[in-house]
């Protein structure tokens, strides 16, 4: 798998660079495999915390550590300095938000079904849209605000007072959506400034150092299974990110985004097969609203961007 050179900027809009007819199939397959890996990473993180055996701070530390080790071959083979950046403050903000989001997600996974946490956390594009409007100057149309309202209603359905997601565990899942959404907005701010490898390398190296400070006071000696599960969490998450980045180099983000929500389907499957979790009707309704909202916002945003370019 190839990553662009360290200083090849991230495309701000995710425009495709391959126009061949087969590019659609290739992008779809890459995204679906990435989604399977994202859901599997969260499943391993949940498995490492069975019976509260492992603090979420420690799982987060190992997720970033093994993520960095997975990236190490690309870092060593890269042409140009990988860790050089003109905007270290934006990277620092991204690391803080990303670390906080992962800790919240893993804390929620220890107590809630995999599908519930994934669906709520996958509402993060709604948060990213709001923050982009406030801090990056994005113009948000009425339709996109409407779609965002539908997505947030889906979150509320899943966190209904009578459901398992209502309580401090559900607040952790909601916190994951908020922090990861803020991280996505920070990544938007990095678009056109640093290369994909630089962004990933700094995120995982910085995340390892930052979470070590938080995890050190509560760290315990993992057994063989826990160490394996945490290693797989980091490795699968980073490989999934590399695959997703490859997909958006092949086709535009508006094409890839709908497939991205297949992560929820894999989360449903893994939750049922490995943890015996059977989602109820409310989970499907809430997740459906979140998925519809995310896809609609992406497609509407792409349509508005095309119209701006024409006019």
Q: Residue 24's pLDDT band (boundaries 50, 70, 90)?
A: confident
Residue 16: the pLDDT is: 46
How many angstroms separate the Cα of 79 from the Cα of each of 22, 54, 69, 244? 29, 39, 18, 22
Q: What percent of the chain has pLDDT over 90?
A: 51
Q: Which of 239, 130, 248, 256 is nearest to 191 (CA)?
A: 248
Segment 148-176 mean pLDDT? 78
Inform me whether the pLDDT recorded for 205 exceeds 80: yes
State the pLDDT confidence band at 90, using cuts at 50, 70 and 90. very high
Asked if residue 4 is part of any domain, the answer here is: no
- The mean pLDDT of 110-131, rounded to a whole number, is 87
Q: What percent of the chain has pLDDT above 70?
A: 91
221: pLDDT strictly greater than 80: yes
170: phi then psi, degrees, rounded to nearest 5: -65, -30
Tokens read off for 277: 């979790």
pLDDT at residue 161, rounded to an integer: 47
15 within domain boundaries:
no
State the average pLDDT over residues 120-144.
84
Other C-beta atoms within 10 Å of 125: how many? 25
Does position 260 have pLDDT exceeding 90, yes or no?
Answer: no
Structure token pair of residue 57? 């701070």
Does residue 65 lie in a domain region?
A: yes
The whole-number pLDDT of residue 4 equals: 55
The pLDDT of 118-133, averaged and rounded, is 85
Give a yes or no: residue 11 inside a domain. Answer: no
Domain tally for the chain? 1
The residue with tokens 């990056």 is 136
Instruction: Report, as an integer, the average pLDDT of 150-174.
Output: 75
In a domain, 240, yes or no: yes
CA dist 175 and 207 (Å) reads 18
Q: Are 48 and 224 in contact (CB under 8 A)?
A: no
Residue 18: its pLDDT value, please? 45
Name the residue range of residue 60's domain: 23-310
Q: What is the pLDDT of residues 52-89, one digit of tens each?
A: 789 999 999 999 999 999 999 999 999 889 999 999 99
Residue 108 lies in a domain: yes
**Beta partners for 9?**
195
Q: What pLDDT band is residue 5 in, cutting at 50, 70 and 90?
A: low
Tens of pLDDT, residues 223-259: 999 999 999 999 999 999 999 988 888 887 777 878 8
Contact in structure between 104 and 173 (CB atoms under 8 Å): yes
Q: Has residue 178 been placed in a domain?
A: yes
Residue 150 forms part of a structural domain: yes
State mean pLDDT over 17-22: 54
């Amino acid at each position: 798998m190839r990553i662009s050179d360290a200083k090849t900027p991230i495309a701000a809009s995710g425009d495709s660079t391959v126009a061949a007819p087969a590019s659609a199939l290739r992008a779809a397959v890459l995204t679906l495999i990435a989604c399977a890996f994202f859901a599997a990473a969260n499943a391993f993180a949940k498995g490492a915390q069975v019976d509260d055996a492992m603090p979420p701070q420690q799982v987060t530390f190992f997720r970033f550590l093994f993520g960095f080790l997975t990236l190490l071959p690309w870092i060593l083979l890269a042409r140009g300095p990988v860790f050089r950046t003109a905007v270290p403050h934006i990277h620092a903000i991204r690391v803080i938000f990303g670390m906080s989001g992962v800790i919240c997600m893993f804390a929620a996974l220890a107590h809630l079904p995999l599908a519930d946490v994934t669906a709520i956390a996958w509402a993060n594009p709604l948060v990213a849209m709001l923050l982009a409007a406030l801090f990056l100057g994005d113009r948000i149309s009425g339709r996109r605000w409407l779609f965002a309202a539908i997505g947030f209603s889906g979150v509320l359905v899943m966190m209904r007072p009578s459901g398992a997601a209502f309580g401090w565990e559900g607040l952790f899942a909601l916190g994951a959506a908020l922090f990861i959404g803020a991280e996505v907005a920070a990544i938007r701010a990095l678009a056109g400034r640093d290369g994909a490898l630089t962004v990933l390398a700094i995120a995982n190296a910085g995340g390892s150092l930052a979470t070590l400070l938080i995890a050190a006071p509560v760290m315990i000696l993992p057994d063989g299974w826990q160490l394996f599960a945490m290693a797989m969490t980091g490795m699968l998450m980073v490989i999934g990110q590399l695959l997703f980045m490859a997909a958006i180099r092949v086709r535009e983000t508006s094409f890839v985004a709908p497939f991205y929500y297949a992560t929820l389907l894999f989360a449903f499957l893994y939750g049922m097969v490995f943890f015996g979790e059977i989602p109820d009707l409310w989970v499907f309704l809430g997740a459906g609203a979140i998925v519809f909202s995310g896809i609609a916002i992406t497609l509407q945003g792409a349509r508005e961007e095309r119209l701006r370019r024409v006019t």
